């Protein structure tokens, strides 16, 4: 069973949509599990203080390393992967999601304020991951995005694994255009090749469409695709 453990200052945010639809069904079937850890429960004073001012001056506050370490050390086994959701981390992508889906347990730290003490990141071997070149008020929204992308890759959660392999970012290509009924809508018709029943031609058409879209919209992916 895959376990996701979330370290947060706002446990009431969870499980959110993660207990709905396919994820909710998989959760009830024990295909995966979600554990929420309230970082404030591990504070050392009666006020449950989790932050303090940065050395060297500057604006904002930082999460205290002693409090966060206390929560991590009491919950995590030494072999488990720990991820801090941070704007200065490695850019999260589909390949990373695929690798993380093969872990038995992942621990996600949702940061707040101006971040966390660097000594904690170094001492606990924490990997920093970013979901994009923008700033959020906290890591909770990012944790939902990361988990959503991971959970759908875990066997038994999504019914049709073939649908996953055809999606955007698989093989460094964006997905081809999709069409459904009605066949004619607002005087627009779907491409004739999709009605032909010729699976080889359909496959070739979809590949050519994926290549054209990727080349136009994501030249970075296109370069990776050409190298493969």
3-state secondary structure of 106: strand
Among candidate residues 91, 116, 151, the one where a domain is terminated: 151
How far apart CA 26 and CA 6 sit, in angstroms, is 18
Residue 12 has pLDDT above 70, yes or no: yes
In a domain, 189, yes or no: yes
Q: Are residue 59 and residue 25 in the same domain, yes or no?
A: yes
- pLDDT bracket for residue 59 (50, 70, 90): confident
Under DSSP, the state recorded for 133 is: S
pLDDT digits (tens, 9 = 90+) for 78-128: 899 999 999 999 999 999 999 999 999 999 999 998 899 999 999 999 999
Q: Are residue 144 and residue 174 in the same domain, yes or no?
A: no
pLDDT digits (tens, 9 = 90+) for 114-165: 899 999 999 999 999 999 999 999 999 999 999 999 999 999 998 766 556 6
Q: What is the CATH number of the domain that holds 197?
A: 1.10.1270.20
Q: Are residue 71 and residue 109 in the same domain, yes or no?
A: yes
pLDDT for position 228: 76
Under DSSP, the state recorded for 176 is: P
- pLDDT bracket for residue 172 (50, 70, 90): confident
Q: How many domains does the chain have?
A: 2
In a domain, 58, yes or no: yes
Task: State the pTM of this model.
Answer: 0.86
How far apart CA 23 and CA 154 sit, in angstroms, is 10
Hey, how many other C-beta atoms are within 10 angstroms of the C-beta on 124? Answer: 18
Among candidate residues 151, 179, 194, the one where a domain is terminated: 151
Q: Are residue 14 and residue 119 in the same domain, yes or no?
A: yes
3-state secondary structure of 170: helix
């Amino acid at each position: 069973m895959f376990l996701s453990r979330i370290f947060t200052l706002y446990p009431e945010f969870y499980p959110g949509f993660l207990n709905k639809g396919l994820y909710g069904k998989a959760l009830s079937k024990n295909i995966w599990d979600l554990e929420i850890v309230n970082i404030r429960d591990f504070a050392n004073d009666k006020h449950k203080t989790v932050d303090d001012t940065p050395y060297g001056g500057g604006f904002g506050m930082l999460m205290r390393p002693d409090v966060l370490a206390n929560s991590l050390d009491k919950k995590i086994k030494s072999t488990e992967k720990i991820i801090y959701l941070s704007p200065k981390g490695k850019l999260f992508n589909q390949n990373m999601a695929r690798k993380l889906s093969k872990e038995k347990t992942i621990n996600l730290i949702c940061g707040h304020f101006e971040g966390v003490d660097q000594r904690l990141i170094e001492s606990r071997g924490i990997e920093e991951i970013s979901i994009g070149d923008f700033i959020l008020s906290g890591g909770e929204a990012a944790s939902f995005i990361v988990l959503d992308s991971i959970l759908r890759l875990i066997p038994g959660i999504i019914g049709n694994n073939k649908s996953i392999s055809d999606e955007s970012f698989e093989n460094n290509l964006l997905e081809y255009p999709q069409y459904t009924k009605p066949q004619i809508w607002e005087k627009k018709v779907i491409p004739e090749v999709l009605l032909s029943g010729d699976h080889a031609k359909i496959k070739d058409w979809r590949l050519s469409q994926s290549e054209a879209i990727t080349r136009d919209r994501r030249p970075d992916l296109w370069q990776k695709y050409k190298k493969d």
